Amino acid sequence: MVKALIIAAGRGNRLRPYTDERPKSLVPLLGLRLIERVILSAKEAGIREFVVVTGYRGEEVRAFLGDGGRYGVAIEYVENRLWRRGNGTSVYEARGLLNGRFILLMSDHIFNPEILSELKRCEPGERECILCVDTCMEDVVDLDEATKVRVVGDRIVDIGKDLRDFNGVDTGIFLCTPYLFEVLERNIQAGRCSLTESMRDLAGEGGLRALPIDDGDYWLDVDTPESLRAAEKLLLFKASKHALATRALYRYLNTPLTRLFALTPITPNQVTLLSLLAAVASSLLFIYHHPLPAGLLALLSSVLDGVDGKLARIKHMKTTYGGIFDSFVDLYEDLAVFFGMAYYGYVETLDPLLWFLAFLALTGTIAVSVPAGISTPTRRYWVSLSKLYRCFPFKSRRGEVDRWVVECSPASKDMRYLWIFVGSTLGQVVATLWAVAVVTNLMAVYRLLRAKLTTEHLSMAEIEEYLEKIYAK
Amino acid sequence: MVKALIIAAGRGNRLRPYTDERPKSLVPLLGLRLIERVILSAKEAGIREFVVVTGYRGEEVRAFLGDGGRYGVAIEYVENRLWRRGNGTSVYEARGLLNGRFILLMSDHIFNPEILSELKRCEPGERECILCVDTCMEDVVDLDEATKVRVVGDRIVDIGKDLRDFNGVDTGIFLCTPYLFEVLERNIQAGRCSLTESMRDLAGEGGLRALPIDDGDYWLDVDTPESLRAAEKLLLFKASKHALATRALYRYLNTPLTRLFALTPITPNQVTLLSLLAAVASSLLFIYHHPLPAGLLALLSSVLDGVDGKLARIKHMKTTYGGIFDSFVDLYEDLAVFFGMAYYGYVETLDPLLWFLAFLALTGTIAVSVPAGISTPTRRYWVSLSKLYRCFPFKSRRGEVDRWVVECSPASKDMRYLWIFVGSTLGQVVATLWAVAVVTNLMAVYRLLRAKLTTEHLSMAEIEEYLEKIYAK
């Protein structure tokens, strides 16, 4: 089991006024302290043992994090009294607790756990360190202050803040071997106490390997109030699953709500419950013939439905149960809203066929992604129709049209509730019910037929290959 | 790609009167000829190239099967004019078409494709054959006439019909190398022309390995009219997915229907459509206030719902689309029947809450197995609540109670429709709707809570381990 060393000793002058009252690693960001984010991100990448080096106001860090039990990890502490001399001394002080290879992290960097998952799989040589390098550099907030690197092949040949000729940036995420302590010792004795100075020595020996991070991976060094705000934006944006045009409205609506909830102790599952309450309230308002607020609450319900998952990702509170609970509640929300809409229309017309329409709408929304079991020679799969009908996506323009039809249709919950909101605002509750019922069922039949056409020419091996693309990571 | 050699040259005297008019390999069994079953079973195990040795009325076999195109395989033919001398000559005649290792099958044996899948993975030595052996022997129909084997370790040390000291039976499923042709040549020149005689020689050299088949695997040598009837029973029984007590009634109802449909060209998907028609007819009968025939048709619909899959397995017509179509139609059947039942009650009471009840019943039946996505570090899963809540099954008596509650509840479609049938027969349509709505929703909530309790203490790795047990084969 590889340990992670987190250095959290520095003063954080540049992050004032946030660091006036507390050490930098305890600065809050969307409801979690910076160092909590580092620990929870590393935990997501499978790391369970931590060594935290404290310095400035170290007792506060220690009191806050405790033994790590409430995060489900184990934390050991090392105090570095010489922290003012440079961050190399903080790494060096931890040498007694680290015998094998270890991850080295900065307490003030936020990062995508995927970066660490990949780094963990690397095998450094005995006298080697591996540094995750951002070679894209587009999103680096404060390039002037960043530590740059020059990479040739897979080697970092030079590293430093003032490098002129560079092609990457140091993300502060390392995989090290105890050999690093030898290099640090040499340098500290010579008065060169920053980590970068020792890394430059390693680079000179050919012992610093670069691991470029993927384009989609994010990281950020929280060094100034500006970068703290940038970090907030980054997390809120990266926590959105979709980045499609039609979802822009929803992102616009649920981002401020997510930000708000993140600052409170409200859990994602409680947000899911709020979403259900909004749907039930919407249903009652339809029943009592107030279509306008009813439509608004239906919209709110679907906005909240996007907040729960986002909040869970941002606050590292994702659970298996949360995902199930969300799918479960979705069903009952549809039940409530469709019943309310049908009742609204029924009171006006007394036509029982309206109930059939509502039944059809409910069934159609389920049918568009009805699950089915598929058994291949090596595995069993459970796949939804919404995944399966795309076995062979259309190419070119037809594919684009197809994508837009799916994007804007009431097959997805957020679009469905947007239709309901707009329809109710226009006073067209029954027409909206008609539209949802007809469109979802037509789409369901279309998907079914396409699943037939695409799968009937495929061998089981080809179907398995397609499914593995979806299900294997 | 390993080829399969099928010997189909014999006369089949013992199977009279079925072989009066046709060669044995063309005797029909549940809508498919014996040799078609052999080819389609082997195809399910991944075999695509066949060599068929014909003898008695060989031109009929050749005319019937053609080049194999309509089965999606390739068939080559060899004519054995000496078929009367013994089945060893039939194998020997095919030597020109078989260069590498090959599967050897009898045209009159039915068997579980799983047996062949496992055999295919074996690697015989250069001078070795592997024979699948039934060591259980409980279900062997005509033990007197069967070829027996004596197995010591993984070696067959003796083989023959009249063996006194035996511990297994020859299933007629072999994996051979071309060395077999040398042994056959030697024996045929000496006038010993049966395959068993050459196999006995191989066994004497230590070159015949036994591969015991699994307890659940079936096979049958169709040699007499009695064994033909036994084969029919075996296929109909083995095609049932469930063997649980509460499903006995359904098996009792759908087995004769499956047998009937098997003899016609009706496809499984057409049976699925018939099931939908029955549900729609049931709905209309509820609407026009005829609960008795309505309940009967609802029951018929669910019986037919069990026939389609069974028919597909028996006639080797399983497709990916068929499974999706079945799940898809199930949804609309529930929609139709619940709407009909609610309408029936509504006409009597004019109470719109009845519609809410029907909505609740429809939602509950979906909620008990609502799907949710789970993402582990290495894979994505899509799991239904009905699978997930059993992460850790109860042990002992509590588990038994749990199992029976699930078995008898309207959560499964066949039980649900049995409830509806019984309720309608008793004239209690509305009460049945109440019962289904209350019980399914209570079960859904119970499963949700249990999924919460069991998953919250599990690490992602443990959840993945559990899911792999379900999804990996």
ipTM of the complex: 0.82
Average pLDDT of the segment spanning B39-57: 92
pLDDT of residue A12: 82
Q: Is the predicted pLDDT of residue B466 greater than 70, yes or no?
A: yes
Query: Which chain B residues are closer than 8 Å to A374 by Cβ?
Result: 320, 323
Interface subset of A 216-275, CB within 8 angstroms of B? none
Alpha-helix runs per DSSP H in B315-459? 320-349, 353-367, 385-388, 396-408, 413-425, 429-455
Residue intervals of chain A classified under CATH 3.90.550.10 are: 3-232
Taking 70 as the pLDDT cut, the residues of chain A under it are 239-247, 391-403
**What angle is formed at CA A460 by the lines to CA A457 and CA A462, rounded to 5 degrees?**
70
Render pLDDT for B151-181 as a digit per residue (tens, 0 to 9). 999 999 999 988 888 999 999 999 999 999 9
Under an 8 A CB cutoff, do A363 and B326 touch?
no
pLDDT of residue A243: 47
Mean of pLDDT over chain B: 88
Query: Which chain A residues are closer than 8 Å to B382 by Cβ?
Result: 371, 381-384, 471
Write down the CATH number for the domain with range B239-471: 1.20.120.1760
Average pLDDT of the segment spanning B262-286: 96
Query: Which chain B residues are closer than 8 Å to A334 by Cβ?
Result: 363
Query: Which chain B residues are closer than 8 Å to A117 by Cβ?
Result: 377
Q: Is the predicted pLDDT of residue B38 greater than 90, yes or no?
A: yes
SS (HEC) of chain A: CCEEEEEECCCCHHHCCCCCCCCHHHCEECCEEHHHHHHHHHHHCCCCEEEEEECCCHHHHHHHHCCCHHHCCEEEEEECCCHHHCHHHHHHHHHHHCCCCEEEEECCEEECHHHHHHHHCCCCCCCCEEEEEECCCCCCCCHHHCCEEEEECCEEEEEECCCCCCCEEEEEEEEECCHHHHHHHHHHHCCCCCHHHHHHHHHHCCCEEEEECCCCCCEEECCCHHHHHHHHHHHHHHCCCCCCHHHHHHHHHHHHHHHHHHCCCCCHHHHHHHHHHHHHHHHHHHHCCCHHHHHHHHHHHHHHHHHHHHHHHHCCCCCHHHHHHHHHHHHHHHHHHHHHHHHHHHHHHCCCHHHHHHHHHHHHHHHCCCEEEEECCCEEEEEEHHHHCCCCCCCHHHHHHHHHHHHHCCCCHHHHHHHHHHHHHCCCHHHHHHHHHHHHHHHHHHHHHHHHHHHCCCCHHHHHHHHHHHHEC
Query: Which chain B residues are closer than 8 Å to A309 by Cβ?
Result: none
DSSP lists the bridge partners of residue A155 as A152, A209
In the numeric block, which tokens belong to residue B272?
């699925």
Half-sphere exposure of B149 (CA within 13 A, CB side): 32
Superfamily of domain A3-232: Spore Coat Polysaccharide Biosynthesis Protein SpsA; Chain A (3.90.550.10)
Report yes or no: B121 at the A interface, CB cutoff 8 Å. Answer: no
Report yes or no: B363 at the A interface, CB cutoff 8 Å. Answer: yes
Residue intervals of chain B classified under CATH 1.20.120.1760 are: 239-471
pLDDT of residue A257: 92
Residue matched to tokens 């109710």: A424
pLDDT of residue A386: 83
The number of angstroms, rounded, from the C-alpha of B326 to the middle of its chain's C-alpha atoms is: 17
Under an 8 A CB cutoff, do A328 and B363 touch?
no
Report yes or no: A324 at the B interface, CB cutoff 8 Å. Answer: yes
**Confidence band for B243, pLDDT divided at 50, 70 and 90:** very low
Under an 8 A CB cutoff, do B327 and A381 touch?
no
Q: Which residues of A360-378 are buried (b: 16+ CB within 10 A; e: fewer)?
A: bbbbbbbbbbbbbebebee
Render pLDDT for A137-195 as a digit per residue (tens, 0 to 9). 777 777 888 899 999 999 999 999 888 889 999 999 999 999 999 999 999 999 888 99
Under an 8 A CB cutoff, do A360 and B335 touch?
yes
Average pLDDT of the segment spanning B354-379: 89
> From the list A324, A382, A471, which residue is nearest B451 (CB)?
A324
> From the list A339, A352, A370, which residue is nearest B356 (CB)?
A339
> From the list B320, B371, B458, which residue is nearest A371 (CB)?
B371
Under an 8 A CB cutoff, do B319 and A381 touch?
no
**Confidence band for B304, pLDDT divided at 50, 70 and 90:** very high
Give the residue on A whose Cα is nearest the Cα of B376.
Answer: A473
Residue of B324, B370, B456 to mutate when probing chain A, most A C-beta within 10 A: B324
Distance (Å, whole) CA B154 – CA B212: 9
pLDDT of residue B470: 81
Report yes or no: A437 at the B interface, CB cutoff 8 Å. Answer: no
Q: Is the predicted pLDDT of residue B245 greater than 60, yes or no?
A: no
Report yes or no: A1 at the B interface, CB cutoff 8 Å. Answer: no
> From the list A338, A342, A366, which residue is nearest B331 (CB)?
A366
Query: Which chain A residues are closer than 8 Å to B385 by Cβ?
Result: 324, 328
B3-224 domain in CATH 3.40.50.300? no
pLDDT of residue A199: 93
pLDDT of residue A208: 93
Under an 8 A CB cutoff, do B370 and A331 touch?
yes
User: Minimal Cα–Cα distance from A269 to chain B, Å?
Assistant: 12
Peptide bond into A17 cis (omega under 30): yes
User: Minimal Cα–Cα distance from A472 to chain B, Å?
Assistant: 5
Query: Which chain A residues are closer than 8 Å to B452 by Cβ?
Result: 321, 324-325
Render pLDDT for B400-451 as a digit per residue (tens, 0 to 9). 666 677 777 777 888 899 999 999 999 999 999 999 999 999 999 988 988 8
> From the list A320, A367, A381, which residue is nearest B328 (CB)?
A367
CA dihedral over A219, A222, A224, A226, signed as positive or negative:
positive
pLDDT of residue A377: 73
The better pLDDT of the pair A351, B283 is held by B283
Q: Is the predicted pLDDT of residue B201 greater than 60, yes or no?
A: yes
For chain B, what percent of residues have pLDDT higher than 70?
Answer: 94
Residue of B338, B359, B369 to mutate when probing chain A, most A C-beta within 10 A: B359
> From the list A320, A378, A455, which residue is nearest B374 (CB)?
A320
Q: Is the predicted pLDDT of residue B274 greater than 70, yes or no?
A: yes
Report yes or no: B426 at the A interface, CB cutoff 8 Å. Answer: no
pLDDT of residue A47: 92
Distance (Å, whole) CA B253 – CA A317: 50
